[in-house]
């Protein structure tokens, strides 16, 4: 069982959360000319690192906020959690 | 190479089984090879075998960081099928079915192929319609498919819950009678033994740590046991693909996720087919030893740990018990996990890359065991001829940017929910 510290609610079990994937992926800016390459990178390409991974989780059975979690993909250790708008690093 | 037969078994029994030769050697890596295959899983070994057999290239090394069969080839639930709707997948996997049927003879190794049929349950009229469509697409590609009604399912699998008060009543099913299971370790060992006998070096406990690329061309690889020169490298590392891609400065349309499976204690024969739940993700078959072999959803977050987590198992087994109430009485014998190279459309990639001499084989998701022979066959062709085979022509790396996805389930890019 993973235990995730929601920045709004505190420590909760993974059962209350839904996963949202790599949080470092940025949607291309609105109202800008966007190349196919940029869309490809945004929609399909993922680093999928072994080690530290900043990712989105949705506290869906709690406060329903999206949060960011810094987690190790090989040990599953969670280093830190952040509010969605918080700057990381 | 010593031939395995009934006669050789008797002969060796009389000499106390001391006369068996090793199945494959343990060579030290040479300085240079014509082709290096990275990854000694099913796909890597099959690729080496078909390179030697079909293309007469035998100066090959298969480089494996652990041991043969220690990856997903030895961790899967052994389901073999070709019940796909899209032509690219259907025709590719059906080629695989042909190779599966003759594999024990071809490899002189009993891989225990058991075409017991797969039954995909449907729990609504809409699902029956969707299965009818899929079945028709399959039959157009020459793949066997039968639509079963509720009574026919009941005859084939009486232990399913057919009572009236279930949340997902069984309306019927789509069956592929020629689908089945095989012994996964035997597949790895069978390919390894034959490849070795044709001159392929199978090098275990040797990790690839880097690549030597010059002017956009592969020159060699770096390993924990020294540098090896080669002009052609085939990548067959399944769940570790993104790690090697990073060494190559490539970002791929795949993510690595964790999948678990489990077996119950052995019981007397009760289930003759492979059966899948249609209202969630659970599947089950009974092994020759009598264990119920079960699996389902991914753990649901990026992971390189070959070790799972209990909430997913509980979720998967809840579905299992909804289908087969008797499962609740059984003890669990063993659970385990493997890491999956989940592609963004659920279909594989077998292609050349922008680096000359570097070939990519990945994106197998949780269905790559059944692909083993067809993957090896087409990848060997791609490497030997430096062009794709017609059967893997759709499995292009650039199909994501060009929009030619092969999306069987239409689930989109959230790989962890597919
Ligand atoms: C629980 C589970 C159930 C599954 N069930 C099914 C099923 O029922 N049907 C089905 O068709 N598929 C199933 N699969 C999927 C299937 O097992 C895989 O898609 C398939 O085995 C992947 O190909 P492979 O055999 O070549 O991979 P692997 O056996 O994983 O081979 C890759 C090899 O590369 C090696 N490697 C990695 N990095 C390096 C490096 N740097 N240097 C050298 N070597 C390296 C690894 O050690 C490994 O041995 C399942 C998988 C799991 C985990
Ligand atoms: Zn919360």
Nearest Cα to Cα of residue B303 among A67, A42, A6, A53: A53
Task: State the ipTM, two decimals.
Answer: 0.96
Q: What's the rounded Cα separation, in Å, for the pair B145 and B93?
A: 14
pLDDT of residue B95: 97
Of A15, A36, A50, the CB nearest to B401: A36
Distant-in-sequence, close-in-space partners of B389: CB < 8 Å, separation ≥ 6: B377, B378, B381, B382
Query: In this predicted model, what pLDDT tens digit does every residue of B172-181 receive, in sequence order?
Result: 999 999 999 9
Q: What is the mean pLDDT of residues B391-398?
A: 97
CA–centroid distance, A87 to ligand 2, in Å, is 18
Helix (H) / strand (E) containing B138: helix B125-140
What's residue A87's pLDDT?
87
Instruction: Name the CA radius of gyration of chain B, rounded.
Output: 22
- Spell out where B248-347 has E strands: 254-264, 274-276, 282-286, 292-302, 332-343
pTM of the full predicted structure?
0.97
Are B201 and B59 in contact by the 8 Å Cβ rule? The answer is no
Work out the percent of chain B whose per-residue pLDDT is above 90: 96
Q: What is the pLDDT of residues B279-328, one digit of tens each?
A: 999 999 999 999 999 999 999 999 999 999 999 999 999 999 999 999 99
Name the β-bridge partners of A33: none
Q: Chain B residues within 8 A (CB-CB) of chain A?
A: 242-243, 246, 251-256, 300-305, 309-311, 344, 400-401, 413-414, 416
Closest-CA residue of B relative to A72 is B303
Fold of A3-83: Folate-binding fold (3.30.2270)
Per residue in A43-65, pLDDT (tens digit) is: 999 999 999 999 999 999 999 99
User: What is the structure's pLDDT at A67?
Assistant: 98
Atom of ligand 1 lying closest to residue B244 CA: 41
B299 lines ligand 1 (CB under 6 A): no
Asked if the Cβ–Cβ distance from B242 to A47 is below 8 Å, we say: yes
Q: Which listed ligand is nearest to B256 at the C-alpha?
A: 1
Interface test with B, best of A18, A36, A46 (most B CBs within 10 A): A46
* All structural domains of chain A with their residue ranges: 3-83
Order of strands, sheet of A66-72, starting from the edge strand that comes earlier in the sequence: A18-22, A52-58, A66-72, A78-83
Mean pLDDT of chain B: 97
Closest chain B residue by Cα to residue A48: B255
With a 6 Å cutoff on the Cβ, whether B63 touches ligand 1 is yes
């Amino acid at each position: 069982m993973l235990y995730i510290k929601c920045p709004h609610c505190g420590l909760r079990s993974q059962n209350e959360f839904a996963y949202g994937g790599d949080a470092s992926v940025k949607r291309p800016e609105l109202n800008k000319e966007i190349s196919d390459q940029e869309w490809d990178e945004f929609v399909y390409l993922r680093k999928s690192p072994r080690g530290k991974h900043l990712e989105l989780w949705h506290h869906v059975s709690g406060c329903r906020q999206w949060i960011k979690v810094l987690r190790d993909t090989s040990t599953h250790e969670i280093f830190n959690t952040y509010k969605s708008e918080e700057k990381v690093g | 190479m010593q031939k395995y037969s009934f006669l050789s078994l008797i002969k060796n029994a009389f000499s106390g089984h001391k006369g068996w030769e090793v199945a494959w050697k343990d060579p030290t890596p040479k300085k240079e090879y014509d082709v290096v295959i990275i990854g000694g899983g099913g796909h890597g070994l099959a690729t080496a075998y078909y390179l030697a057999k079909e293309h007469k290239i035998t100066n090959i090394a298969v480089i494996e960081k652990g041991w043969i069969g220690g990856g997903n080839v030895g961790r899967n639930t052994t389901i073999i099928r070709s019940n796909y709707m899209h032509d690219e997948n259907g025709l590719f996997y059906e080629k695989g079915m042909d190779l599966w049927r003759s594999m024990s003879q071809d490899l002189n190794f009993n891989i225990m192929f058991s075409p017991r049929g797969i039954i995909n349950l449907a729990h609504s009229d809409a699902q029956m319609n969707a299965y009818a469509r899929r079945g028709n697409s399959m039959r157009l590609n020459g793949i066997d498919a039968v639509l079963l009604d509720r009574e026919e399912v009941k005859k084939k699998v009486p232990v399913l819950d057919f009572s009236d008060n279930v949340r997902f009543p069984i309306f019927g099913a789509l069956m592929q009678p020629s689908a089945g299971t095989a012994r996964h370790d035997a597949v790895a060992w069978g390919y390894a033994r034959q490849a070795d006998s044709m001159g392929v070096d199978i090098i275990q406990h040797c990790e690839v740590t880097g690549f030597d690329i010059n002017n956009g061309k592969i020159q060699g690889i770096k390993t924990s046991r020294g540098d090896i020169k080669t002009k052609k490298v085939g990548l067959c590392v399944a769940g570790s693909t993104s790690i090697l891609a990073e060494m190559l400065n490539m970002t791929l349309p795949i993510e690595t996720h964790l999948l678990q499976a489990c077996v119950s204690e052995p019981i007397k024969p009760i289930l003759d087919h492979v059966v899948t739940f249609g209202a969630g993700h659970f599947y089950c078959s009974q092994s020759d030893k009598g264990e119920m072999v079960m699996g389902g959803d991914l753990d649901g977050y990026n992971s390189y740990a070959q070790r799972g987590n209990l909430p997913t198992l509980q979720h998967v087994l809840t579905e299992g018990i909804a289908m087969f109430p008797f499962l609740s009485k059984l003890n669990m014998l063993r659970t385990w996990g493997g890491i999956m190279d989940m592609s963004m459309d659920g279909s594989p990639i077998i292609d050349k890359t922008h680096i000359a001499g570097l070939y990519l084989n990945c994106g197998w998701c949780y269905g790559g065991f059944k692909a083993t022979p067809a993957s090896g066959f087409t990848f060997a062709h791609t490497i030997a001829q430096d062009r794709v085979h017609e059967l893997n022509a759709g499995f292009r790396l650039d199909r994501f940017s060009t929009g030619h996805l092969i999306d069987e389930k239409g689930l989109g890019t959230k790989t962890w929910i597919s």
